[in-house]
Structure 1
Amino acid sequence: MVICLPPQPLDPAESISLLQALTAVADPRRARGRRHSLQSSLLLAVGAVPAGARSYAAIPQWARCAEQAVSGCGPVPHATTFGRVLSAVDPVALQRALTGWVRARREGRRRRRPGDVRHLGQARTVVAVDGKTLRGARTSDGEQTKLLAVFAHADQLAITQIEVVGGDELAAFAPVLDTVPVLRGVVVTADALPCQRTHATYLRARGGHYLFTVKGNQPTLRRAWAWLPWAQAPALIERQVGHGRTESRSIKVLDLEGAPEAQLFPHGARAIKVVRRRRCSGRAKPSVETVYAITSLGHHDADPRLLAGWISSDWTIENCLHGVRDVTAGEDHSSVRTASGPQGMAALRNTAINLIRLRGGTNIAAA
């Protein structure tokens, strides 16, 4: 496969800073027989994936025609070298180093632009947790590789990810957040599956907060939320018109302090009810969806408008990360399947997406 160079390859300063960041990743290979450094091999892989590389063989193909800023690492390693490196390297450490490098560049740009003030909703870090199956990556026993990722709402950056062992996404919730050094003050959003008492206790023990959707996997909580006195709560209503449809969203929030329902879920501070109505052109009746949620955030921590925005933006991990890796990066068509190779390649795709977003890009496919 012939690969085109990306429109904005890493410049020499970026390449040097990335090489320095990659020194935090331990080299799993034996010292004897090494011909290429781990950092230079990973640097080439980071450059190749945004250019369209989906396999180990495509990385050296791209590197041989890359600009001097990238190819100055020395002779280009063979495809088998990239395969050995990405199959053996610690993928969590790789993702941590790459994300740390991207975020350091983001903070540097903010310091150079003091006029860029974050609005209230961005003052608190909010992250989403969600899983994704790599359909093209199967182990020898036929099982598909599944990854659980953490994604920042405001910056739309992939922060970290781990492999889900045995398909148990619930068991991977705390371990993936263990790879995030600081959770104090961070709000973690998730759909219904991670809405578990143990997860709520874990997050509060680390100083974080949760905002969980409540569905049928928590039947007692779901029934209790449906019977709360919502008529007594004021409604915040937002409307949008466009793309041939009219949408409205009503959010109501009830304080659980002193209420018996507060005992149903650890550290539950407020109950939330969101009613979404959508009317498409040419249709007489609108579609109506009711969503319940629970949060550990008190009324001093976030107002209803912020909560509504965070509930709505929880889906961005699907559309802005997992969907992009599938549709644009062709992740599900990649046959890389050995050891930690699938997770390592996913970390490189995350970094490619992060870089494009850092540069202000919104259309990943066009970039």
Structure 2
Amino acid sequence: MKARVRRVQVRLVTKDEMPRWMDLMARHHYLGRPDMVGQVLCYVATVDGEWVALLGWASAALQVKARDAWIGWSDDQRHRRLRYVANNVRYCILPGWSLPNLASRVLALNTRRLAADWEARFGHSVVLAETFVDPSRFDGTCYRAAGWELLGRTRGFGRHGRQWEEHKQPKTVWVRPLRRPARYWLAADFEAPELVGTPTPSVDINRVPLEGADGLLAALAQVTDPRKKRGIRHSQTTVLAIAVCAVLSGARSFLAMADWAQSLPQDLLKRLGCRRRNDASIDRIPPSEPTIRRTLEAIEAEELDRVLSAFLLRHGLGRAIAFDGKTLRGSGNGAERPRHLMAAVIHQTGVVVGQQAVDTKTNEITVARPLLEPLDLVGRVVTADAMHTQSSLAEYLVDEKQADYVFTVKDNQRILKRHLTQMNWDFPPSGPDNPERSWPD
């Protein structure tokens, strides 16, 4: 029996197989033929080609008190993200296939492929599965064995058309996260890139503090506003906050920033400080693309860079910093050489926390200290390539910045390289001199 259960496979039902699937479900499931709504996927479990179980999935229930409390999302978040939840509306083990562990095995195999199938069919993934079990008939044992969690019971109401009617048959509510952070993504303030399908940003914007004395809004308020007071409709802090958050969410142009701002719900527009439509209105209006563009073009870029760099480092977004120089592609022309920049980057995230232009009459070595000077490097590790393996820079990092360093040694430091090649490296790595300090993760 165990060998047969291990040979179970779960796959989508083809269009030609749907009549058979519907007929078997109508004859063998106690609820009969399913009336599934919204986005629907139908599966069959087989053993050596024989049908052993049927499963049907559809769009999630609109309101479930136990589920909504467990997720912790607001009504607006539920309205926008309900499509990332799938409802197991039917599950039927066919007669003659009552094998031990079969039901939980089929469920586990189905949920393992559900998200990928959903995205392939409907263009977006699902991150949470839900189902409802009649406690007068079943205990939900197979769901528990497959890793589902019991949340509670429904109130005994069902939706018929646009009306809610009491049927006095409460069901138990079960959920199964298909991705470990599903609960966090569904209740996050901003749209998680894993849900909307955009490339994962270097910093999770939902973990960036907005309000408070040490939040992003307070940091951006330090940037000098060069605009004339007459005609100002949006505060500079709000415009900059929206631009920064949009970039962290994947926006790469002024138009993309404006589109991202337009997609924000009212509660987030209010938190970001967007103005009201008029004195009597509660609706908030985000800044337009021209407003964002004019504001970003008018501010002092280096001042904004310093403010954001200090903010990112202050909130512990990186323990290891790398700095290196790159020539900007397309920044030169026939009369001028391309611009060369030195940038300090957080290892774990790739976020730039500082940058400095390298003059054509000098090199990167002379720019290293000015680049690192405004950064809080206490307790951090700084890495660089062989060009910056200089004793003066090493002393500066240790003595003045209270940082550690990892430099590459090549032929520009021939004596040091010879000494290193002659050393006996058969020893355990040393720890920090100060026991209160630790190496970065």
Q: Which has the larger radius of gyration?
A: 2
Q: Which has the higher contact order (CA 8 A, sep 6+)?
A: 1
